[in-house]
């Protein structure tokens, strides 16, 4: 980002006629800026270090390359779902390319607009990247360790779930299965069933593909909902009793924790 002089480049865009007043001009200019970052020749030393860590720490397994911006999890501004995740990356050269793509997603149009609306300074935003082993998820989703709609309801966990990889749960592309679980009564309240007729699965050579969903639209059993809520409660307790916004996956009979972050009211999910 320093080599490309991106801060100066952004300032130049912001002075361009129409940039601050016409969303179409902003959209086009930000797309060009992202392309410049994503397609830039990477530093050879960085590629060697990244490859060594991928090979050594993660055994060259398929990975999700995920965003971790400093403009997320802020008071009154979640920032969730605004930045890019590159799923199931399986080649060394593609890992480096994916990292640059996530760096570039600081300037996703929706992210820029949301930060502007929230009064955040665009030149103060930076992006870190998480390179995380891919989980071959049978189902996946998001869990909030409280009722996000009614603060007065106690002992409640909200769970949003879909079959397969959970990219669309986080990004909100299609209707998920949504349930509420009461730790007190052990009751499950179904808010919605999944509206999807396809699911995302990992491709052997990298990336993802859609396959048809057959059978019931129900994603989670009551027993699995109770297990997820128990994991959520334990996570909240382990992290100081602060309500958590958790990304999870189920692989076979195992619940896999992908990410836990403090729950922020008014989030972008």
Helix (H) or strand (E) holding 211: strand 208-212
DSSP state, 42? P
Q: What is the pLDDT of residue 170?
A: 47
Give dist(CA 139, CA 39) in Å, integer. 33
Q: Is residue 269 part of a domain?
A: no
Three-state DSSP at 179 gives strand
Beta-carbon contacts of 230 under 8 Å, excluding residues fewer than 6 positions away, are: none
- Give me the residues of the chain with pLDDT under 50, please: 169-170, 172, 267-269
Phi-psi map region of 206: left, alpha, beta (phi>0 left; psi -120 to 50 alpha): left
The whole domain housing 215 covers 139-262
**CA atoms 201, 203, 209, 210: torsion sign:** negative
Give dist(CA 142, CA 138) in Å, integer. 14
Q: Is residue 267 part of a domain?
A: no
Beta-carbon contacts of 95 under 8 Å, excluding residues fewer than 6 positions away, are: 50, 51, 54, 63, 65, 89, 131
Q: What is the pLDDT of residue 267?
A: 44
CA–centroid distance for 25 within its chain: 27
Are 145 and 67 part of one and the same domain? no
Q: What is the pLDDT of residues 145-162, one digit of tens each?
A: 999 998 888 899 999 998
Q: Is residue 268 part of a domain?
A: no
Instruction: Tell me the CATH number at 203.
Output: 3.30.470.20
């Amino acid at each position: 980002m320093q080599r490309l002089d991106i801060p100066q480049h952004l300032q130049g865009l912001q002075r361009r006629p129409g940039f601050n007043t016409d969303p179409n001009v902003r959209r086009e200019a930000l797309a060009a800026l992202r392309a410049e970052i994503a397609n830039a020749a990477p530093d050879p030393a960085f590629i060697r270090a990244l490859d060594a860590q991928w090979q050594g720490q993660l055994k060259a397994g398929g990975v999700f390359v995920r965003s971790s911006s400093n403009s997320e999890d802020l008071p009154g501004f979640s920032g969730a779902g605004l930045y890019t995740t590159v799923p199931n990356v399986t080649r060394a050269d593609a890992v480096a390319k994916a990292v640059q793509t996530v760096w570039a997603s600081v300037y996703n149009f929706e992210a820029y607009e949301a930060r502007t609306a929230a009064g955040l300074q665009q030149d103060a935003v930076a992006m870190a990247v998480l390179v995380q082993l891919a989980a071959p998820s049978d189902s996946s989703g998001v869990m909030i360790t409280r009722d996000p709609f009614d603060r007065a309801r106690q002992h409640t966990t909200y769970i949003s779930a879909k079959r397969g990889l959970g990219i669309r749960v986080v990004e909100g592309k299609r209707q998920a299965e949504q349930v509420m679980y009461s730790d007190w009564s052990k009751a499950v309240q179904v808010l919605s069933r999944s509206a999807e007729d396809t699911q995302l699965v990992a491709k052997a050579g990298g990336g993802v593909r859609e396959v048809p969903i057959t059978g019931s639209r129900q994603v989670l059993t009551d027993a699995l909902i109770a297990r997820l809520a128990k994991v959520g409660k334990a996570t909240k307790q382990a992290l100081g009793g602060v309500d958590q916004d958790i990304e999870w996956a189920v692989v076979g009979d195992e619940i896999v924790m992908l990410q836990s972050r403090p729950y922020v009211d008014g989030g972008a999910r």
